[in-house]
Amino acid sequence: MTRRERGGNFISSELQNPLVEKENSMKPIKWTDAEREMLRDQMLRLDLSVGQVRIPGRTYEGIRRQALKLCLIEKIRHPPLGESQIALLCELRKQGLSATQISNFDLLGFPHRTADAIQKHLSRLGLVNQNRSLAAKHRKIWSNGELERFDNFLRENSKKMPPRQIAEIFGATRSTVDKRQRELGVKPSSKQVLAMPFVKERIKDFLCQRSKKIILGFGKRLAQREKELEALAEKLRSNGAPPADRQCKKCGKVWLRHRKFFFHCKGKTAGYSLWYFARICVLCEAQIRHERRMPRYRREYAI
């Protein structure tokens, strides 16, 4: 049946899907030039405040943000909370009120405080929920003048010290240092960071620890490899016509005369090249090589 046969009652599958409708409703609608002109006209020509401006389909917060972008109003900077307000905030928190409730009813008095501002004050007072995310719980809070010193330090030492070392000095995270360096235009390249002594020392220490761990786990890996070879030998024998058996002259264990169990070596006899299987299995050969390298391992990694 075509759309014309259905009498124009066609509804696309996209609009019938409630998930698509919800997703489309969550997307912010961009301001048009006509709406911006309407905002300027009401605030400049009619001399209305942000609370008095009426634009169809726009909320108070959306109108206020757009007015800030168009420099029609100045950003409101409220004075810090006084001692009486801090005491009142602690008392309201003990009563179980949230930051949103305190903000909606202006329980701290005027000027009006947003829920985000009240939440920040609660965080500084240690009155936040302990089950919140670790990123918010341990985030860096800059004291007076500390951010300026941090910026000056980044301008002077970003080419000398890696972000991780700078973060350890100021008690911040590496992502904080990276973001601030990008904002100031002093972020070093990856090649410059890898050439710094601090990074070279950390890489050397990491490689040393990794090599030490690999060496100490040799016995475990050798036992795992032996189990894998036993399973492979059983599989080859069950397939029929397996290779001939060959006994290792070091451990005395019988394996199959196969490249997986014995090395396939090459030698010369009377000017002719001959291929033959070694008399020592791959497990014993690996053990011999490991013991031969242990003196060097002890010198380099203090094992």
CA distances from 76 to 65, 73, 83, 104, 105 (A): 12, 9, 21, 18, 19
C-beta of residue 153 within 8 angstroms of C-beta of residue 171: no
| pTM as predicted | 0.46
Mean pLDDT, residues 43-48 taken together: 86
pLDDT tens-digit map of 170-204: 988 898 999 999 999 999 999 999 999 999 999 99
Specify the DSSP class assigned to residue 41. I
Q: What is the pLDDT of residues 238-287, one digit of tens each?
A: 887 888 899 999 999 999 999 899 998 887 777 788 888 899 999 999 99
Q: Does residue 7 surpass a pLDDT of 60? A: no
Query: Maximum distance among all alpha carbons in the chain?
Result: 110
Lowest mean pLDDT among 133-137, 143-147, 152-156, 182-186: 133-137
Per-residue confidence at 153, pLDDT binned at 50, 70, 90?
Answer: very high
pLDDT tens sequence across 50-103: 888 999 988 888 898 899 889 888 877 778 888 999 999 999 999 988 888 998
Percent of the chain with pLDDT over 70: 88
Lowest-pLDDT choice from 49-53, 159-163, 289-293? 49-53
Distances (CA, A) of 57 to 23, 32, 65, 136, 196: 18, 12, 15, 34, 55
Query: Quick one: CA torsion of 225, 226, 230, 233, rounded to 10 degrees?
Result: 70
Q: How does DSSP classify residue 145?
A: T
pLDDT band at 167; cut points 50, 70, 90? very high
What confidence tens digit (pLDDT) does each residue in 272-283 have? Answer: 888 888 999 999
Q: What pLDDT is stored for residue 137 in this prediction?
A: 65
CA 254 to CA 242: how far, in whole Å?
13
According to DSSP, the β-strands at 254-256 and 262-269 are: unpaired
* DSSP for residue 268: E
- Does the structure show a pLDDT above 80 at 150? yes
- pLDDT of 286 reads 94
Taking all residues of the chain, what is their mean pLDDT, rounded to a whole number?
Answer: 84
Domain ranges of the chain: 13-69, 83-130, 146-212, 217-301
